[in-house]
Structure 1
Amino acid sequence: MRKIIGWVLLGLGAFLLVTGLLATVWAPGQVERTPLDVDSTTSLSGNADKLNPATGETEAIDVKATSITKADSKRSDDNVIVFVNTTCLVIDEGDVPDCVDADDPDARLVSATSDVFSTDRHDALAVNGKYLPAGAEEKEGLVNKFPFRTEKKDYPYWDGLVGAPVTAEYDSTDTLDGLAAYKFHILLDETPAEVVEGLQGTYSQDKFIWVEPITGAIVNQTQHETRTLDDGTLVLDLNLAFTEDEVAEGVSEAKDNKAQIDLVTGTLPLVGFIGGVLALLAGAFLVFASRKDEKA
Structure 2
Amino acid sequence: MRKIIGWVLLGLGAFLLVTGLMATFWAPGQVERTPLDTDSTTYLSGNADKLNPATGDTEAIDVKATSITKADSKRSDDEVIVFVNTTCLVIDEGDVPDCVDAEDPEARLVSASSDVFATDRNTGEAVNGKYLPAGAEEKEGLVNKWPFNAEKKDYPYWDGLLGATVTATYDSTETLDGLETYKYHVLLEEVEADVVEGVAGIYSQDKFIWIEPRTGAIVNQQYHEIRELEDGTTVLDMEIGFTEEQIAAGIKTAEENKGRLDLVTGTLPLVGFIGGLLALLAGAFLVFAGRRDAQADH
TM-score range relative to shorter protein:
over 0.9
SS at match of 1:219: strand
Q: What SS does the corresponding residue of 2:185 show, helix, strand or coil?
A: strand
- Residue deviations 1:81-132, cap 9 Å, x none? 0000000000000000000010100000000000000000000000000000
For 2:130, the equivalent position in structure 1 comes to 130
> What secondary structure, in the 3-state scheme, does the structure 1 residue paired with 2:40 have?
strand
Q: Aligned partners of 1:158, 1:196: CA distance in 2, in Å?
A: 18
Q: Determine helix, strand or coil for the equivalent of 1:195.
A: strand
Return the letter of the residue paired with 2:188. Answer: L
Amino acid at match of 2:33: R
How much has 1:30 moved relative to structure 2?
Answer: 0.9
Cα distance, 1:283 vs. partner?
0.6
Find the counterpart in structure 2 of residue 44 from structure 1. Answer: 44
CA shift for structure 1 position 47: 0.1
The residue matched to 1:283 in structure 2 has which SS? helix
CA deviation map 1:173-198 (0-9, x unaligned)? 01111110000000000011000111
For 1:279 and 1:130, how far apart are their aligned partners in 2? Answer: 50
Q: Residue 272 of structure 1 aligns to a residue in which SS?
A: helix
Partner of 1:22: 22
| Structure 1 residue 2 displacement after superposition | 1.2
| 2:260 matched residue in structure 1 | 260
User: Corresponding residue for 1:64?
Assistant: 64
1:285 maps to 2:291: no
For residues 8-33 of structure 1, what are the alpha-carbon distances to aligned partners after superposition, in whole Å with 9 as ceiling and x for unaligned? 11000000000000000110011100
Q: Determine the structure 2 residue equivalent to 1:247.
A: 247
Which residue number in structure 1 is paired with residue 215 of structure 2? Answer: 215
In structure 2, C-alpha distance between the alignment counterparts of 1:165 and 1:269, rounded to whole Å: 38
Mapping for residues 263-274 of structure 1, pairs under 5 Å: 263-274=263-274
AA at the equivalent of 1:157: Y
Structure-2 residue corresponding to 1:201: 201
Instruction: Tell me how far 1:163 sits from its aligned partner.
Output: 0.6
Structure 2 residue 35 is matched with structure 1 residue 35: yes
Amino acid at match of 1:245: E
Matched, 1:141 2:141: yes
Distance (Å, rounded) in 2 between the aligned partners of 1:7 and 1:140:
56
Residue of structure 2 equivalent to 1:164: 164
Looking at structure 2, the residues matched to 119 and 149 of structure 1 have their Cα atoms a distance apart, in angstroms, of 16
Unaligned runs of 5+ in 2: none
**3-state secondary structure, aligned to 2:134:** coil
Q: Could you list the runs of 4 or more consecutive aligned residues of structure 1 that deviate by over 4 angstroms after TM superposition?
A: none
Could you tell me which runs of 5 or more consecutive residues in structure 1 were left unpaired when the two chains were aligned. none
Q: Give the Cα separation in 1 of the matches to 2:39 and 2:16.
A: 36
- Partner Cα distance (1:15, 1:150) in 2: 32
Superposed CA offset, 1:115-155 (max 9, x none): 00000000000000000000000000000000000000000
Q: Structure 2 matches for 1:2-21, cutoff 5 A?
A: 2-21=2-21
Shift of 1:222: 0.2
CA root-mean-square deviation: 0.4
Please give the TM-score of this superposition, normalised by the length of structure 2: 0.99
Partner of 1:75: 75
Rounded to whole Å, the distance in 2 between the matches of 1:25 and 1:191 is 45
Compute the displacement of 1:64 (Å).
Answer: 0.0
- Supply the distance in 2 between the matched residues of 1:245 and 1:11 (Cα, whole angstroms): 50
| Equivalent position of 1:117 in the other structure | 117
Distance 2:216 2:49 in 1: 33
Deviations 1:194-252 (A, max 9, x none): 00111101100000000000000000000000000111111100000000000000000
SS in 2 for 1:236: strand
Instruction: Write the deviation string for residues 243-285 of structure 1: whole angstroms up to 9, x where unpaired.
Output: 0000000000000000000000000000000111111011111
SS in 1 for 2:115: strand
What's the TM-score once normalised by structure 1's chain length? 1.00
Partner residue of 1:88? 88
SS of the residue 1:134 aligns to: coil
SS of the residue corresponding to residue 64 of structure 1 reads strand
3-state DSSP of counterpart to 2:78: coil
Structure 1 residue 76: Cα displacement? 0.3
Distance in 1 (alpha carbons) for counterparts of 2:129 and 2:3? 61
* Residues in 2 aligned to 1:132 and 1:262: alpha-carbon distance in whole angstroms: 33
Cα distance in structure 1, aligned partners of 2:196 and 2:291? 86
| Aligned-partner Cα distance in 2 for 1:266–1:45 | 38
